[in-house]
Structure 1
Amino acid sequence: MDIQHLKYFVEVARQKNFTKASQILLVSQPSISKMIKSLEDELKVTLLDRSERKIELTDAGVTVYEQALKILQSVEDVYDSVNELVQVKKGTIKLGLMPTTGVLIFPNVLAGFKRKYPEIDIQMVEYSAKQLKRKVEQGEIDLGITVLPMNSELFETIPLLTEELVVLVDSEHWLVERESVRLSDLKNESFILLTEDYALHDVVEQACIQSGFEPTVAYKSSLWDLIGEMVATKLGISLIPRSMVSRFNNQRVRAISISDPMIKWELVLVYKKNKYLSFATREFIEYIQSHKL
Structure 2
Amino acid sequence: MIDNRIKFRHLQTFVEVARQKSVMKAAQLLNISQPAVTKTIRELEEVLGVAVFERDGRGIRITRYGEAFLKHAGAALTALRQGFDSVSHAVHADAPPIRVGALPTVSTRIMPRAMTLFLQEDIPARIKIVTGENAVLLEQLRIGDLDLVVGRLAAPEQMTGFSFEHLYSEQVIFCVRAGHPLLNEGSAVFAALERYPVLMPTRASIIRPFVERYLIANGISALPTQIETVSDSFGRAFVRNTDAIWIISAGVVAADLDDGTLTSLPIDTSETKGPVGLTVRTDAIPAMPLTILMGTIRQAAREVKSG
With normalisation by structure 1, the TM-score equals: 0.58
1:222 and 2:230 correspond: yes
Match of 2:154 among 142, 149, 152: 149
Q: Please say which of residues 242-251 and 139-148 is displaced more in the overlay.
A: 242-251
For 2:118, the equivalent position in structure 1 comes to 113
For 1:262, the equivalent position in structure 2 comes to 271
Task: Kindly report which structure 2 residues correspond to 1:1-293, keeping only aligned pairs within 5 A, or say none.
Answer: 82-88=81-87, 90=90, 91=95, 92-151=97-156, 152-170=159-177, 173-177=180-184, 188=194, 190=196, 191-216=198-223, 217-232=225-240, 236-243=244-251, 244=253, 246-247=255-256, 254-259=263-268, 261-291=270-300, 292=302, 293=304
Amino acid at match of 1:272: R
Q: Is the 8 A contact 2:148 2:278 kept in 1?
A: yes
Q: 1:183 to 1:131 in 2, by over 3 A?
A: farther
Q: Is the 8 A contact 2:180 2:243 kept in 1?
A: no
Q: Rg: which structure is higher?
A: 2
**Counterpart Cα distance in 2 of 1:99 and 1:279:** 26
Amino acid at match of 2:101: G
**Counterpart Cα distance in 2 of 1:184 and 1:111:** 41
**Counterpart Cα distance in 1 of 2:181 and 2:130:** 40
For 1:16, the equivalent position in structure 2 comes to none
Q: Is the 8 A contact 1:165 1:258 kept in 2?
A: no
Q: Is the 8 A contact 1:218 1:235 kept in 2?
A: no
For 1:14, the equivalent position in structure 2 comes to none
Quote the offset at 1:229 in angstroms.
4.6
Quote the offset at 1:287 in angstroms.
4.1
Q: Secondary structure at the match of 2:126?
A: strand
Quote the offset at 1:134 in angstroms.
1.1
Number of aligned residue pairs: give it: 215
With normalisation by structure 2, the TM-score equals: 0.56
For structure 2, list consecutive stretches of 5 or more residues without a partner in the other structure.
Answer: 1-76
Quote the offset at 1:224 in angstroms.
2.6
Greater helix percent: which structure? 2
For structure 1, list consecutive stretches of 5 or more residues without a partner in the other structure.
Answer: 1-77
Quote the offset at 1:273 in angstroms.
1.9
Q: 1:84 to 1:224 in 2, by over 3 A?
A: same
Q: Secondary structure at the match of 1:202?
A: helix
Q: Is the 8 A contact 2:199 2:244 kept in 1?
A: yes
Q: Is the 8 A contact 1:166 1:239 kept in 2?
A: yes
For 2:60, the equivalent position in structure 1 comes to none
Q: Is the 8 A contact 1:225 1:248 kept in 2?
A: no
Greater strand percent: which structure? 1
**Counterpart Cα distance in 2 of 1:158 and 1:182:** 39
Q: 1:250 to 1:112 in 2, by over 3 A?
A: closer
Quote the offset at 1:120 in angstroms.
3.1
